[in-house]
Chain A
Amino acid sequence: MRSTKLKVVLLLLVLGLSLGSAWAQCSGTKYVALGDSLTAGFQSGGLAEQYDSFPALIFGQLDDTCGTFEQPLVSQPGIPSQYHLVGLFPTVIEPQEGDAYPMNAELARPYDNLGVPGATVNDVVETTSGGIFNLILRNPAFGNTTQLQQALSLQPNFMTLWIGNNDALGAATSGMPALLTPLEDFQEDFETIAGAIAASGADFVVANIPDVTTIPFVSTFPSFLVNPATNQPVQIGGEFVWLIGPDGTTPLTPADKVLLTGGTYMALGCGIPAAAGGVAGLPPGTQPACPSGGLPDTAVLLAGQVAEIQARVAEFNTVIENTANALGAGFVDARAILADIATNGLELGGISFDSSFLTGGFFSYDGVHLTDLGYAYVANRFIDEANETFEMNIPPVDLYPFVFGRGAAGARLPAYLAKDAVLSPAAINNVLSIFAGKDFELDLDVELGTIGPRGRRVPPRSRIVSPLNERRFRRYREPLRF
């Protein structure tokens, strides 16, 4: 058991009790959100202008609040740079060009949105710096405190906790079940987090972990070859042409999942049998991107791996739900909600949304994180649960602005598409890097008071470097295609 409470006490001493006591005197709702990228408002591969993160939307619905809701806001095009869709023929998705800057880094207290992209349950109780944690936790200025410690130092009386996605989804998006957090570790950390929140006296709502097969990153590509002319499965001798797995010889089955990153490899012939025009079956090394000729294991989730991840997620979710129930917290079944969107879609006044990549309107260009509409929908599920569990009577978020786009009367194409889009090599693998959490290098030299007034763009103090991305994409001279 970690000495979490002791750390909290020390933190309060470091910060001085004045901050906390000021909020403690407020009779309204003091809301703090704790979580990962989904809480942070991460979208399309980056964090940018998170005004519509689901915690910010929830805060906007509260009528009697203690102060403002502060977030680690980042200017466009985001950290990392958010993707945009460059064109449909071919379908190219790329990071936008330009440098982004923290816009709220001078805030002299911890943020109310303490969602850190890439954070695992263990990060919440252990990690104080590194990568994008530096952007949000801003240590050592806050006494080398963790997400949990900073959250509790704000003395919230209402919290949301959506954590654990990175303990499972990183394994899914990288095709590597070995990255799954062991159950015992997960349970210990999750119970520590939830226990500390409960001990603080705050009302809180927790959410569980979605099924990996319901996100476009996993669900978009079929595991068989599709004829581009007819959009029908290619059949040779009446049989489907199954894509070839990582070993270069074994065909995939319907239960195997080709990840969104697989599109890049298929464009190079990887995973496509030589008889159908690909490189699978040709001498090893014909295509350096996939020496075996099959889809690389990072781009495929084999059926057994899917089952392994699902089984672990089910165990995590049992821990989450049981802990929530034991502590009197509200419980949002995010797994069921996203499964429902994937299966049934969402109908809003004759407009259909679903989990389709690009055209579903619910998931952003990274295939993992939600659109504004998706986050607004999730915010309403948290609100429903808070209302039910704590009789809070929070009105639902109005979805209309997110259906048609803010300020859009018959939304038109964004202006940037009219300009010459400059193509840069970094691309969809930013998603992978963000799941790598601390390993993602973010060399932000943040000091309180030195960044400049909120909302004003200041010169970049550093650039974002992701060696993982650079390495992976140096091989490919052309943009990603899906």
Chain B
Amino acid sequence: MDRKTIHFATSVLLLAVVSLLSAPVHAAGFAIFEQGAKAMGMAGAFGAQADDPSAMYYNIGGLAMFTESEFYAGVSAVSLGDSDFTGLAPFPGPDVTGTQKNQVLFVPHFYYVRPLKENLNLGLGMNAPFGLTTEWENTDDWAGRFLSEKAALQAIDLTAALGWRAKDNLGLSFGLIVRNSTLELRKRNAAINPFTQTAVDVAMVKLEGGFDQGYGFTAGLFHQPTDRLSWGLNYRSQIDVDYDNGDATFTQILSGDPAFDGIVASILPADQHVSTGIAFPDNATLALAYKITDDILVEADYIWWGWSSFESLELAFEDETLDTTFAQNYDDSSTYRFGLRWDRSETQQLRFGYYFEDSPQPSTSTGPLLPDADRQGLTVGYGFSGERFQVDLYVLYVDLSDRTTTVNRDNFNGSYTGSTLLAGVTVGW
């Protein structure tokens, strides 16, 4: 037996598998707009009302208008409905389907405002304005497992702000944001089994970050020119979070052939640190509210998102040969939100809302990691306001447009469908 030629063949295998182990792992940011039950009863069209402490999110300009201390705390339950994938030829083909795990995520929010002195208010907030979990069922068979089995992103903002009531009907506010975020990605790697000349699973790759921080600011304006008319402007800056201390683990999946498995084992990267970063987009809100009658108020908000910040995701491993950059190339996008508030009595409100938004995701990036789509939502809300406390409730149904991509950058094409049901409660006191 000739060692030179054998080793040559071995090196061919090594090269092939090394390149596969650095194959795509990527993530996308995803906004969560459900940060207060009152606002969400009106589909989030709240920037020109901003009259509870969730103004810290919807329009910080409203912070300036408080005259008493208030707490406002609650949670949204996000239940992913049936979210399915059906493939298209040439790959992975019409016989391939996939289903995301049904799961319920809880997204909390907490706000506190208090007057510091006349015309100057302090606001503190904690909420989760970005996050996502995309996890696919039956990962042994899921055709997209070499792109993503699971992607989970959490971002928790701590916001501290000052609001200045410049006039009785005009507020200006500014706040600083510390964003704490963590990221988890899990996928498999494939190699060509030389005995079958077909693809087999050879490794599970998991990237897990700790919590890392990024910093930004927010500024807003609230103005009520007449008893019936109010409007607002809010801006929240882009925040870059660098995940510096992620852990990458590589776990081999045996093929059953000792020689092939030995080669894979010999070139499987060691577990090591990995770093990456996400540029969360900035956004700007223009909000307008009008009281049609003494009991009925309508509001329309336009929200612009600077998703073009999400150009790429760069993974930097300790072993630099594994480094990879994945283009995301998101586009800026728009959301349109419409709400109606009906004051049934001094203490009770009924709320209704509708919104629609364009997906910032280009079809080239629509894939198993984050299949985003245009969406629209319908909401109903209820509020009770007593002497000492208030309770707000909402239910929101979100329908994702069917999204078919034939230009996915990984040549993984097909149609994604999905819907989400959310419900939330916030209590103020």
Interface residues of A (CB under 8 A from B): 84-85, 87-91, 220-221, 225-226, 228-229, 231, 263, 266-267, 272, 346-354, 356-361, 364-365, 371-373, 376-377, 380, 395-405, 408-414, 417, 481-482
* Interface membership of B143, Cβ < 8 A: yes
Q: Are A226 and B94 neighbours in the complex by a CB distance under 8 Å? A: no
| Chain B residues in 8 Å Cβ range of A402 | 198
Tell whether, in the assembled complex, residue A267 and residue B2 are in contact, meaning their CB atoms are under 8 Å apart: yes
Number of interface residues of B (CB under 8 A): 61
B410 at the A/B interface (Cβ < 8 Å)?
yes
Which residue from chain A places its CB closest to the CB of B4 in the assembled complex?
Answer: A228
Q: In the complex where A91-B5, A350-B410 touch, is A397 in contact with B89 (Cβ < 8 A)?
A: yes
Selected contact of B190 from candidates A220, A350, A357, A398, CB within 8 Å: A350
**With a CB–CB cut-off of 8 A, which chain B residues contact A398?**
89-91, 93-95
B253: nearest residue on chain A (CB-CB)?
A410
Task: Decide: A412 near B198, CB < 8 A? Known: A396-B89, A398-B90.
Answer: no
Whole-angstrom distance between the alpha carbons of A126 and B19 in the complex? Answer: 47
Chain B positions within 8 Å of A365 at CB level? 197
B139 to chain A, nearest CB (A): 11
| B12 CB to nearest chain A CB (Å) | 6
Query: Are B9 and A358 neighbours in the complex by a CB distance under 8 Å?
Result: yes
Q: Is the CB of B411 within 8 A of A408?
A: no
* Cross-chain contact A90 with B2 (CB below 8 angstroms): yes
Query: What number of residue pairs across chains A and B have CB atoms under 8 A from each other?
Result: 191
Name the residue in A358, A401, A405, A408 with the highest tally of chain B Cβ atoms < 10 Å from its Cβ.
A358
User: Mind listing 26 A-B residue pairs with CB under 8 Å?
Assistant: A84-B195, A88-B257, A88-B260, A89-B10, A225-B4, A228-B3, A229-B7, A267-B4, A349-B410, A350-B190, A352-B23, A354-B16, A356-B16, A358-B13, A359-B15, A359-B16, A360-B16, A372-B197, A398-B95, A402-B198, A404-B198, A408-B198, A411-B200, A412-B256, A417-B257, A482-B8
Given contacts A90-B5, A356-B12, A403-B198, contact A397 B256 (CB under 8 A): no
Whether A90 and B6, one on each chain, are in contact in the complex, defined by CB atoms closer than 8 angstroms, is: yes
Can you name the residue of chain A whose Cβ is closest to the Cβ of B257? A413
Q: Give residues of chain B (153-200) contacting chain A, Cβ–Cβ below 8 Å.
A: 187-200
Q: Could you tell me which residues of chain B, from 359 to 376, have a CB within 8 Å of some CB in chain A?
A: none
Contacts of A263 in B (CB 8 A): 5, 8
B21 to chain A, nearest CB (A): 10
B206 to nearest A CB, angstroms? 15
CA distance A405 to B144 in the complex (A): 16
User: Do residues A400 and B10 form an inter-chain contact, with CB atoms below 8 A?
Assistant: no
Is the CB of B14 closer than 8 A to any CB of chain A? Answer: yes
- Chain B residues, CB < 8 A from A372: 197
Tell me how far the C-beta of A227 lies from the nearest C-beta in chain B, rounded to whole angstroms.
Answer: 8
Nearest CB in chain A to that of B368: its residue:
A349
CA distance A268 to B3 in the complex (A): 11
Q: B146 at the A/B interface (Cβ < 8 Å)?
A: yes
Contact A231-B11, Cβ < 8 Å, known A398-B93, A413-B257, A481-B5 = yes
One digit per residue, 1 when the CB lies within 8 angstroms of any chain A CB and 0 when it does not, for chain B 230-268 equals 000000000000000000000000011101100100000
A405 surroundings in chain B (CB, below 8 A): 196, 198
